[in-house]
């Protein structure tokens, strides 16, 4: 009996010939990741457990991205604690202001995560790296402490759900729309502790940016991980940037799946997820007249250069609505520079928007765009729970960069074709 790509990666890292769903195993980690919110807790646990040196200073990655540059004294203390630890341990991959970006955009960009890896990160959206064909999942800070000490963690092998996408995408439909529609179809617990394997003819035509977005939001369906079978697109992306040797795994033809879900993309239009769940997805033609106060274009979900180019295409020659706020957040310094070189910043500024430094910012209610009571934001982020971006009485609508940009122009939920 064959294995899925998720099962193969877990079996190799557990040094087993084969694994099956439900098995408990101890697997070695290629990357252990923390940020300025989760790493300080892990560092405290590391110390209390008697940790002296991390298992491998090349494989522990620390990124200051949530509240950096520091927004207040507490965040400054958090970042200092992580910074001191990184310097003490001589961590190779420590990224602070000036070099830091949103971690889940930064690591693939720098080639730190490669195909075939097992990645454990103290952040729920660590599943992003499944886009390059890695098994990547979020863990708690105490688990991160254990991984930093030993280089290994316990896992239960998840069942795999296979999502087969077919058909030609309509204009402005991106990976964000595919994943919002998928979550809307199965629900926020529809893939609970399962692997979401994305495949099909449509997937083969997706850019790496689209794949990273889709894998990122697998956790919003309750998944343990999201993953793509590596192909020519993967090879083109990782070649020249990968820091280490990598391995392409695939799923066997006789692999056993929990379920196989077929999705016809040709019928799909740009999506919007209404408050207060990512599963409250509907097509842009079905949203009605919903007035919006702010657009956020950025985050680990949609802050890449491809996303900024789409937003700029919509905004070029246009201006945002009166009394509206448009905040654009490039996800990494490299993306920031590229957008600047391409003249995208001029388009955003001419449209009445502002440009932020690379940061998670408002996505988790941090800063750079917090909402007041009664305010509404359309955001290219990944969560829209109550109070996610500010006051509990505010609302967040999830969408791709095309809809976020068009909405800024219209002052209400709208797609580019509605302008």
145-160 pLDDT, tens digit per residue, is: 999 999 999 999 999 9
Integer Cα distance of 240 and 115 in angstroms: 13
Q: How many CB atoms lie within 10 A of CB 201?
A: 12
Q: For residue 188, give both structure tokens.
A: 């926020």
Contact criterion met (CB below 8 Å) for 207 and 176: no
Q: For residue 326, give both structure tokens.
A: 């448009």
pTM for this structure? 0.94
225-247 pLDDT, tens digit per residue, is: 999 999 999 999 999 899 899 99
Three-class SS state of 155? strand
Is beta strand 376-379 parallel, antiparallel or unpaired with respect to 354-355? unpaired
Clarify whether residues 41 and 113 are in a common domain.
yes
89-106 pLDDT, tens digit per residue, is: 999 999 998 899 999 999
Answer whether residue 113 shows pLDDT above 90. yes
Clarify whether residues 350 and 405 are in a common domain.
yes
Clarify whether residues 320 and 222 are in a common domain.
no
Q: How many CB atoms lie within 10 A of CB 246?
A: 21
Q: For residue 346, give both structure tokens.
A: 């001029």
Q: For residue 6, give both structure tokens.
A: 């998720």
Range of the domain at 404: 271-418
**Where does the pLDDT of residue 365 fall: very low under 50, low under 70, confident under 90, or very high at 90 and above?**
confident
Question: Phi, psi at residue 137, to the nearest 5°?
Answer: -150, 155
Integer Cα distance of 174 and 191 in angstroms: 21
Which percentage of the chain shows pLDDT scores above 70? 100
The answer for residues whose C-beta is within 8 angstroms of residue 156's C-beta and 6 or more apart is 22, 23, 24, 25, 193
Residue 100 belongs to domain with CATH number:
3.30.499.10
**Where does the pLDDT of residue 175 fall: very low under 50, low under 70, confident under 90, or very high at 90 and above?**
very high
Clarify whether residues 174 and 39 are in a common domain.
yes
| Domain C-terminal end among 263, 297, 316 | 263
Contact criterion met (CB below 8 Å) for 334 and 133: no
Distance set, CA 148 to CA 47, 58, 187 (Å): 11, 11, 34
Integer Cα distance of 253 and 256 in angstroms: 9
Clarify whether residues 339 and 205 are in a common domain.
no
């Amino acid at each position: 009996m064959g294995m899925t790509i998720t099962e193969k990666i877990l079996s190799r890292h557990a040094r087993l010939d084969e694994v099956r769903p439900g098995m408990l195993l101890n697997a070695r980690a290629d990357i252990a990741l923390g940020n300025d919110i989760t790493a300080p807790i892990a560092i405290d646990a590391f110390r209390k457990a008697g940790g002296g040196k991390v298992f491998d200073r090349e494989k522990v990655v620390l990124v200051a991205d949530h509240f950096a540059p520091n927004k207040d004294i507490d965040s400054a203390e958090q970042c200092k604690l992580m910074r001191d630890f990184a310097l003490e341990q001589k961590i190779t991959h420590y990224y602070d202001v000036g070099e830091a970006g949103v971690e889940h955009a930064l690591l693939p960009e720098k080639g730190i995560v490669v195909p075939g890896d097992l990645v454990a990160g103290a952040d729920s959206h660590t599943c992003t790296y499944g886009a390059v064909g890695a098994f990547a999942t979020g863990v708690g800070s105490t688990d991160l402490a254990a991984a930093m000490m030993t280089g290994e963690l316990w896992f239960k092998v998840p069942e795999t759900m296979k999502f087969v996408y077919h058909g030609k995408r309509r204009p402005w439909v991106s990976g964000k729309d595919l994943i919002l529609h998928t979550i809307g179809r199965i629900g926020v617990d529809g893939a609970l502790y399962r692997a979401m394997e994305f495949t099909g003819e449509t997937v083969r035509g997706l850019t790496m940016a689209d794949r990273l977005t889709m894998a990122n939001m697998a956790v919003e369906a309750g998944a343990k991980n999201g993953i793509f079978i590596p192909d020519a697109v993967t090879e083109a992306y990782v070649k020249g940037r990968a820091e280490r040797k990598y391995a392409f795994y695939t799923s066997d033809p006789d692999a056993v799946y929990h379920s196989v879900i077929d999705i016809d993309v040709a019928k799909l239009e740009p999506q919007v997820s209404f408050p207060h769940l990512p599963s409250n997805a509907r097509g842009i033609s079905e949203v009605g007249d919903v007035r919006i106060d702010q657009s956020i274009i950025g985050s680990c979900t949609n802050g890449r250069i491809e996303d900024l180019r789409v937003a700029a295409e919509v905004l070029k020659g246009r201006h945002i609505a009166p009394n509206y706020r448009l905040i654009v957040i490039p996800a990494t310094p490299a993306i920031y520079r590229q957008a600047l070189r391409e003249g995208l910043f001029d388009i955003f500024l001419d449209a009445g928007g502002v440009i932020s430094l690379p940061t998670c910012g408002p996505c988790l209610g941090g800063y750079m765009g917090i909402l007041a009571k009664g305010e509404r934001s359309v955001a290219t982020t990944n969560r829209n729970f109550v109070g996610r971006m500010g006051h509990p009485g505010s609302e967040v609508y999830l969408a791709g960069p095309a809809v976020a940009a068009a909405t800024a122009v219209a002052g209400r939920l709208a797609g580019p074709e509605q302008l």
